[in-house]
Structure 1
Amino acid sequence: MNDREPQWTAGGPDIDLADPAFYTGCDYPAVWQQARRSHPIAWSRSARAGDFWSVTTHALGSRVAKQSALFSSARGMRLGAAEAGVGAAANRMLVVSDSDAHRRIRSALSGWFTGRAVAALQDRLAAHVDELVRTLVERGTPIDVRTELAETIPTWVLFEMLDIPGPDRAELAGLTGAAFDETDLSEAAAARRAGAHAQIFGYFHQLLQRRRAAPGSDIISSLAVADGEGKRLDDVEILLNCNGLMNGGLETTPHAVTGAVLAFARDPRAWRRLAAEQRLIDGAIDEILRVTSPPMHIMRTATADTELGGATIRAHDRVVVWLPSCNWDESVFDDPRTLSLDRQGASHLSFGAGPHYCIGAVLARMELRCWLRAMLRYVERIEVTGPVRRQASTFLHGLSELKATFVPAHGRSV
């Protein structure tokens, strides 16, 4: 396996891109920048996750994401996933499926993530987020942005869509966080992650049976009671995709919100301008998603020998696209690490591209829109009042800790 060229050299020989701790430091964006310039695709060696190709530019990342027949998701879509688990979920879970299987699963779920279904939630979400932000501002003390604000918004949305009983919500959210926590890579921690996944499956198995006996107007009920041509997913597939929705729905938007709070705290002029020109909100949402890039990577497996960026990829080689690096590509985005309200042109890859474009993109944008409108209504400026720490993860990209004070908008009684 040592004959792959070019070999990864950016940042020095000791870097392991599959080490979650690497992304807690401040140097990894510079390493990616060096890689984009010297080897946009390179063979990466990892004692933790085995060897793989790393892709760091927007153009090559887009090609991998769009060419699903050549770069398969069914053999795993993230580094570190257990081989047995991937095998059990292949072509039965949306994110690890291809071709007809992917279309079948996506069709069964997509009705819940379209504009019409999402719009039905919008007014209730807006009221919920408005009250949340107003209360936090009124409190007048530093806020744990991730736990008190960012995590609560997608949790409320997804649990409403799944109709999770109120008493179960905190426990289920905690299990989801534990299932994807990479801060400890010991065998004991791996067992705890596996145990959390098992508890999530067990919970949804019981919920599925209850919904089949007494259907409601939620995602699980619609899947549980479908029959004839409408029964697209069997019970195991329903459980697998509920687990997938928990991860995709709860673990990404919080990083966009937390990262945006930090960005606007560091650039108060941009915040003031957005408050004065709220027609810019939709563009600001995509710029937030590009700059924060909540998913760290997507992985694909080559189905045949091919060429990518001058490198010879062999069948069965794993190809990892580092999404933040693609979204910070200087050849596509001027001053790419800066959140610019005037940015136009190329699309970011935070929702992926091609057949696997994020099924929850419309929902995520709605969550961010409701949050921004509430913040602009109540918050004059944002002040960071505590340490800023990054999350140790190869799968999620963002902050593990951010404390901030929201200074009330002038003329408001809050």
Structure 2
Amino acid sequence: MHVQEVVRVPFTRRAWAEAAYCLAGLVPALAGGVALTVLLALGAGLTLSLVLAVVGVLLLLAGLRLARALGGVHRGLAARLLGERTDAPPPLPPGEGLVGRLDARLRDGTGWRAAGYVLAKLPVGALGAYAVLWWITGLVNLTAPLRWAVFGQRPEAGSEAGSSEGMPVLTPVPFGGLDADTFAGTWLAVLIGVVTLLCAPWVTRLVVAGDRWLIRALLGPGRLADRVRDLEETRALAVDDSVALLRRVERDLHDGAQVRLVAVAMGLDMVRERLDDGRPLDVADVRRLVEGAHRNATEALTELRDLARGIHPPALDDGLADALATLAARSTVPVELAADVPVRPTPAIETIAYFCAAELLTNVIKHSGASRAMLGVTQRRDGLLLLQVTDDGRGGAVLGAGTGLSGLAQRVRTVDGRIVVRSPRGGPTTVTVELPPHA
């Protein structure tokens, strides 16, 4: 990082937003954490007694409700000041009957994770206050010459007339106490203030980074809820993809092969009419009709073959490596192939990998301006299939930019795979597709 960038950091919006987040979250962090600690400690202690167990359970429930509320406050502050937007957790489970509702609320995983965050926020909030102290001391020290000019030196308590003590220089770390005894010495305080302000954003960022991790881990819907939502989304994508495929097949059959076959039937009907009408046979006319029917039948077979290849490429019958070699050989941009797939994945994974490679090579030809490309497919020991396409083109490829990468990402997600795009301006571009061994 350049010196100019380091100097500019304290004046960036991000630095001030992170400092404001530490300051705004201080009261709910400390007060809420202390209140929750008291509620949970009393509740846990009273539930062990026979007489006050009901009171203890009620205190625990109150603590969980408080934790959820405080979690919402911290989520809101993080979203407003940090741009850290976390999906709200699911609502409290209903339960049936009084005992069922109590049991459901005591088993509320979201509430307990929120309680864990609020308790962890106690030391993090204290660290946030310490980070804010860096900003305050730095700003106060910058005013040292002005304070000296306005207030001068302070009389030393219990000393003789004319005796005074220097102006204290504030620091966020214990330096043993520094004083500015002269006006020139106040500029040392200014220097310390500048250094403190240059360091303050990094101290704040370190605290905020830990807080971000806690928010993502404890205040979100949870791994199970995320997994359920992801499965619902990928199932919807798979259904939409299959419906789109069926519509495309129907459209291609209706507009292509079906029209050709109708023309074949009409041509053969005309030939039959020529043969049955009893008039002298015009061989040239019949030959023209038969040739037209033959041509339409041939074109219909070609279209059906292309349509079947779009559903399942015949090249995959001999394995993914041979299919990718066919793709590389057909490319108008020279492609270097490296394939190492000792164990064949399932047909669904092979098909997705093939179509991903075809789409990525098409992007290289159409959009990259590359002079050469590399296509590689490897299989890790755990069975994970890694497909990688690299080109020496102009770069700048991003997901959702109209180059087909978004469609690939959706197709890959249906089998719990993922796609990673690295494409700086000026290139090179590397797209990596990770696929599990089976769908």
* TM-score where L is the length of structure 1: 0.20
* TM-score where L is the length of structure 2: 0.20
Query: Which protein has greater RCO, CA pairs closer than 8 Å, 6+ apart?
Result: 1
Q: Which structure is larger by alpha-carbon Rg, 1 or 2?
A: 2
The structure with the greater share of residues assigned to helix is 2
